[in-house]
Amino acid sequence: MGSYRWVQVAVLSALMIGVGPLQAATRLPVKPLSRDVAVSNKSVATKGTDTVKFTVHEGEYIPGVNGRKTPVPVSKSLIQSIPRTIEHTRKLVSLPDILLTGTIAGLIAGLDWVMDPETQSIRKEEKQFEQAPLTQYKWSISGNGWGPYEGATADAACKAGSDRPPFTGRQGHASSAWSWLNGTNGLACEYPSPTGGPPQVVAVYQTGSCPIPYAIKDGECMKETGSQKVPLTSADLDRIAPYVNGQTGEWIRDLMRESCAQSPSPGACLESLQEGGPELSGPASVQGPKEVTTGTYTRPDGTTGTTKTETSTTYNIKYGPTYIDITNNKTVTTYKDDQKVGEETSTDGEEVTEEVPQEENEQDYSFQDATFPEVEPFYDQQYPDGLEGVWNARKQDFDNSAFLAFLRSFIPSFSGSCPAWAMSFDLQAMGNFSSHGFNVGCYVFDFIGVVILVTALFTARMVTFGG
């Protein structure tokens, strides 16, 4: 083996000892941002030229040893199209029976449209005007035996001339200011030349004054007579685009959510508006758990020394659309008697050969209660049998109390027996026939007592209430 090969072997050995073994990166699947969450109030909307980027900050966890997980603040994003949102909104406002929720109601009001209760559709209010009589205010042209041709506006007068000789068939229109006879400026009717030469120009004059309650509007004397709700035209719907483009990203987010909510399939509607994504972003690296182990060793002099090993891990992260690739940068530092004696660093390779299943990445919320220690009572019950026990223990004392004896003195006592009736038959000179008793059962007196009480009751009712 030549000297060159020995150098190669020495370099590779140093790398293996100083850097440690090279392992593969780990791919961690990440659930992308759902469209429902993207258009909710939880997201941050960043408006671009033709797109809105919705971002929600959520957390993922890198599995570690002994069940320890390292949190990673991951930002999940979706990109939605503004032009497709505008096109969807155009179709929505053209349908009957739409719901005027918050943002959609603001859009309709901002464009000066209304919901027509009769047709249950979006309409615009078109004002109705009445022209002043031509006898009071008019524009007219005339000359060399033709005319006059009259109209409520300069254009109307020019068109009236195009229907009559000598301008028949030539569509006349009012041109801008011009200078001719006597150097005066005004409006003129321009009629194309039949031979292709310069147009024929004829002055158009305004005569009369616009009377009250009429007023000049766009060069015409008119008054407003009312309004009517008319269907939206394509030109009206074209006003949606500049209005939406002038709003904030949050406003457009709410418009997407509310408009798609009125679709038969809201999920498919939001998917049709998606322009890009999903995207993941976050920190390029996070610090993992730090482990420290300690021990002892015997010094050459026979005394005991201390050892310590610190293992720190840094996770380097690369983000894909639905996953993050994690490479471990692990540093092991050893100490003897608090003096650093060695350090070894190992870094994973970037090639992904290991993938953590999604369910392993999700947080485990299951738990098992540990045995609860015995808890001493907070107090000793003075009356374990409650109120009933207190009453049973004190009832005899209560019955024999002076208070109850005083109350019993007010209770009347009744005694007696059924009356005994007797009649003496001592007739003196006629003879003494002794005394004879009449034995009447006690129930007779009970019945007489009941009759007396009932009679007294009815008598009292009559005296009190009458009748």
List residues bridging with 69 in a β-sheet: 63
Shared-domain flag, residues 299 and 441: no
Range in 147-151, 165-169, 175-179, 300-304 with the lowest mean pLDDT = 175-179
Shared-domain flag, residues 295 and 439: no
Domain boundary among 217, 248, 282: 282
Nearest of 295, 268, 359, 284 to residue 324 by alpha carbon: 284
Average pLDDT, the chain: 78
Establish if 10 belongs to a structural domain.
no
Give pLDDT, residue 3.
40
Shared-domain flag, residues 266 and 313: no
pLDDT digits (tens, 9 = 90+) for 108-120: 888 888 888 888 8
Shared-domain flag, residues 354 and 315: yes
Domain boundary among 321, 337, 361: 361
The mean per-residue pLDDT over the stretch 83-97 comes to: 87
What's the rounded Cα separation, in Å, for the pair 9 and 3?
10
Shared-domain flag, residues 155 and 169: yes
3-state helix, strand, coil in the chain (%, to 5): 30, 40, 30
Q: What is the DSSP string of 315-360?
A: EEEEE-SSEEEEEEEEEEEEEETTEEEEEEEEE--SSEEEE--HHH
List residues bridging with 340 in a β-sheet: 335
Share of the chain above pLDDT 70, in %: 82
**Is the model's pLDDT at 200 over the cut of 70?**
yes
Nearest of 316, 318, 324, 329 to residue 355 by alpha carbon: 324
Tell me phi and psi for residue 439, to 5 degrees: -85, 105
Shared-domain flag, residues 85 and 145: no
Contacts of 126 (CB under 8 A, 6+ apart): 227, 228, 229, 230
Establish if 67 belongs to a structural domain.
yes
Establish if 20 belongs to a structural domain.
yes
What's the rounded Cα separation, in Å, for the pair 315 and 324?
11
Centre a 10 Å sphere on the Cβ of residue 174 and count the other Cβ atoms it contains: 21
Read off the DSSP letter of residue 31.
P
What's the rounded Cα separation, in Å, for the pair 324 and 174?
70
Establish if 376 belongs to a structural domain.
no
Domain count, the chain: 4
What's the rounded Cα separation, in Å, for the pair 178 and 180?
7
**Is the model's pLDDT at 168 over the cut of 70?**
no
Shared-domain flag, residues 348 and 294: yes
Per-residue pLDDT band at 360 (split at 50, 70, 90): very low
Establish if 387 belongs to a structural domain.
no
Establish if 379 belongs to a structural domain.
no
Shared-domain flag, residues 177 and 189: yes
Give pLDDT, residue 175.
62
Give pLDDT, residue 17.
37
- Pull the structure tokens for residue 77: 């994003």
Read off the DSSP letter of residue 40.
S
The mean per-residue pLDDT over the stretch 173-178 comes to: 55
Establish if 232 belongs to a structural domain.
no
Shared-domain flag, residues 248 and 263: yes
Domain boundary among 361, 380, 412: 361
What's the rounded Cα separation, in Å, for the pair 29 and 360?
10
Establish if 227 belongs to a structural domain.
no
Shared-domain flag, residues 347 and 302: yes
Shared-domain flag, residues 25 and 36: no
From the centroid of its chain, how far is CA 66?
A: 39
Domain span at residue 326 reads: 16-30+286-361
Shared-domain flag, residues 243 and 104: yes
